[in-house]
Amino acid sequence: MNTKNYGIIKDKIKETDAIIIGAGAGLSTAAGVNYGTLNFKENFPELVKHYGFTDMYTSSFYDFDTEEERWSYWAKHINYLCIGMEASETYKNLFNLVKDKEYFVLTTNVDRQFLKAGFDSNKVFEVQGALTKIQCSRACHNKLYDDTVMIKEMLEKNEDIKIPSDLVPKCPVCGETMEVNLRKDNFFVEDDYWEEHSNNYEKFINDNKNKKIIFLELGAGFNTPGIIRYPFEDLTYKLPNAFLIRVNDKYANVPNDIEDKAIGIQDDINEVIKGVSEL
């Protein structure tokens, strides 16, 4: 840990006109909103016993036999990582660092932690979807449905690894099964809200392209580098007054062609945000 970096980050944020946070899985992991979660066995012994699941991430790709089982699983997953989870200290500290600046958030995280921590929803683009939204599995229409009430009812009436059949959601238009709105295939629905936020992101960059702008990249590795990591490098290179702060516990190196406009900090993201907050 190099605490000297904390001062650099603090000063950069203070001096900048605008700040774009790019957040990947590493941020939520550091914040304790964790897919490979420590308490998985304790919280979901029935899933471990019945399916042999080991964590929330790999289990989400399981091919369930019935919709009753599939939604029993997702209700637990969504409640555990999102609906029943409060804002973490990490996200709250991050909000306090940027709340008085011109900011925008681009995130691949689906746990809604930014909104819970107080970030303005107009300034948070959740590009890969959100756990609180469901869609038609065939994407037959361009609409998303809030699932928070539905999930609670599923949990109340759930028995072991199944929900009652009458709670299984069906597409109101074509009658097909429903899916959580997470980008995993070509059926991912981008609704008007998604489009609007995508436009807000483009506009934010355009409005600030000649100003002092910081790209604060937190925990974006190589799962989907084309969404945050590579575009941030590219924009840092192109925009005259841009600076990239890359915090990653594994992949913090920055390319040579932007090394005078960037800093890579290989460290625990939670520790870094906390350290900067306490200065």
**How far does CA 201 lie from the centroid of its chain?**
15
| Residue list 133-172, contact with Zn ion (CB under 5 A) | 136, 140, 171
189 binds Zn ion (CB under 5 A): no
Other Cβ atoms closer than 10 A to 102: 16
The CA distance from 3 to 14, in Å, is 17
| Residue list 46-65, contact with Zn ion (CB under 5 A) | none
**Cβ proximity to Zn ion, 29 vs 137, nearer residue:** 137
Under a CB-based contact definition with an 8 Å cutoff, are residues 235 and 242 in contact? yes
Residues binding Zn ion: number (CB under 5 A): 6
* Residue from the set 17, 120, 176, 234 that interacts with Zn ion by CB under 5 A: 176
- Report, in Å, the least distance between residue 129 CB and Zn ion: 17
**Which of these segments, 3-11, 70-78, 173-181, 209-217, binds Zn ion (CB under 5 A)?**
173-181
**Cβ proximity to Zn ion, 105 vs 144, nearer residue:** 144
| Residue list 106-125, contact with Zn ion (CB under 5 A) | none
The CA distance from 21 to 91, in Å, is 12
In order of 1, 36, 138, the CA distances from 58 in angstroms are 31, 8, 23
* Residue from the set 36, 173, 199, 223 that interacts with Zn ion by CB under 5 A: 173
Under a CB-based contact definition with an 8 Å cutoff, are residues 108 and 25 in contact? yes
Closest CA to 228 of 78, 125, 143, 96: 125
Q: 18-23 and 102-107: which strand pairing?
A: parallel
**Cβ proximity to Zn ion, 173 vs 279, nearer residue:** 173
**Cβ proximity to Zn ion, 176 vs 234, nearer residue:** 176
- Report, in Å, the least distance between residue 142 CB and Zn ion: 10
Question: Which residues of this protein are in contact with Zn ion, per CB under 5 A?
Answer: 136, 140, 171, 173-174, 176
